[in-house]
Amino acid sequence: QVQLRESGPGLVKPSETLSLTCTVSGGSISRYFWSWIRQPPGKGLEWIGYIYYSGSTNYNPSLKSRVTISVDTSKNQFSLDLTSVTAADTAVYYCARDSYCTSGSCYSDYWGQGALVTVSS
Amino acid sequence: EIILTQSPATLSLSPGERATLSCRASQSVRSYLAWYQRKPGQAPRLLIYDVSNRATGIPARFSGSGSGTDFTLTISSLEPEDFAVYYCQQRSNWPRTFGQGTKVEIK
């Protein structure tokens, strides 16, 4: 059974960089797309972007200028960096495995439990 | 981007009753729509993909239907473990987007 677990600081100061790592267990990170998705308090889910195991990425245009997703296949991990954060970036951040894809357009069939990140001074 | 509107926001039902959840898209998403279930403190779970296909291990009481802009998730007879929040998601247009969710609560 594939399992994903998000890790990283739960509190980030405004204007700094939010960094999270997703560790994949129970399966290889190879040959899949891997996404980050977030949900601000009281709001809906927002897809942030994905990375293919080979390293190719694609990001939501609304966040593209501030987002970097990277992968470390040797550790079976992928990571999210979000720069210049504000209070609006406070959210539960989920990592997920993508499946049922067509040209990178996917659904997510395995998700982590989520990590709450609060942006506050 | 495509906006997905789910209704109702909250559905109050008793175990054994039928639940009907709606997801409407701001433009056609063809047949590229999925449904997820999320319970407090748990990872979201993919239930249905491409409108009507059950994901691995999903019970037959969950079914999906629709096309174009109007979609429905039906739970034929609610089990106690089905009380949760349900989200729809489209992958037809870039970027993929989600609905705001429908909470199915115990009446």
Check B98 against A47: CB less than 8 A apart. yes
User: Mind telling me how many Å the CA of A44 is from chain B's nearest CA?
Assistant: 5
Check A61 against B43: CB less than 8 A apart. no
Split at pLDDT 50, 70, 90, the class of A92 is very high
pLDDT of residue B76: 97
Split at pLDDT 50, 70, 90, the class of A100 is confident
Neighbours of B100 (CB within 10 A): 18
Task: Tell whether the model's pLDDT for residue A104 goes beyond 80.
Answer: no
| pLDDT per position as a tens digit, A10-42 | 999 999 999 999 999 999 999 899 999 999 999
Q: What percent of chain A has pLDDT over 70?
A: 100
pLDDT of residue A29: 93
Q: What percent of chain B has pLDDT over 90?
A: 93
Report phi then psi at A59, rounded to 5.
-125, 155
- What the block records as the tokens of A41 is 């308090």
Split at pLDDT 50, 70, 90, the class of A101 is confident
User: Mind telling me how many Å the CA of B56 is from chain A's nearest CA?
Assistant: 9
Mean pLDDT for A45-68 is: 94
Check B96 against A112: CB less than 8 A apart. no
User: Angle at Cα A103 formed by Cα A102 and Cα A108, nearest 5°?
Assistant: 55
19-38 in chain B: CB under 8 A from chain A: 32, 34, 36
Write out chain A residues lying below 8 Å of B9, CB-based.
none
pLDDT of residue A121: 94
| pLDDT per position as a tens digit, B45-101 | 999 999 999 999 999 999 999 999 999 999 999 999 999 999 999 999 889 999 999
Spell out the residues 6+ positions from residue B72 whose beta carbon is closer than 8 angstroms to its own.
B20, B21, B22, B23, B64, B65, B66
Nearest to A80 by CA among A113, A47, A105: A47
Q: Tell me the three-class secondary structure of chain A, residue by residue.
A: CCEEEEECCCEECCCCCEEEEEEEECCCCCCCEEEEEEECCCCCCEEEEEEECCCCEEECCCCCCCEEEEEECCCCEEEEEECCCCHHHCEEEEEEEEEEEECCEEEEEEECCCEEEEECC
Task: Tell whether the model's pLDDT for residue A64 goes beyond 90.
Answer: yes
Amino acid making up residue B78 = L
Q: What percent of chain A has pLDDT over 90?
A: 88
Phi-psi region of B60 (alpha: psi -120 to 50; beta: other; left: phi over 0): alpha
Provide the 3-class DSSP secondary structure of residue B81: helix
Residue B104 touches partner A, C-beta closer than 8 Å: no
Residue B41 touches partner A, C-beta closer than 8 Å: yes
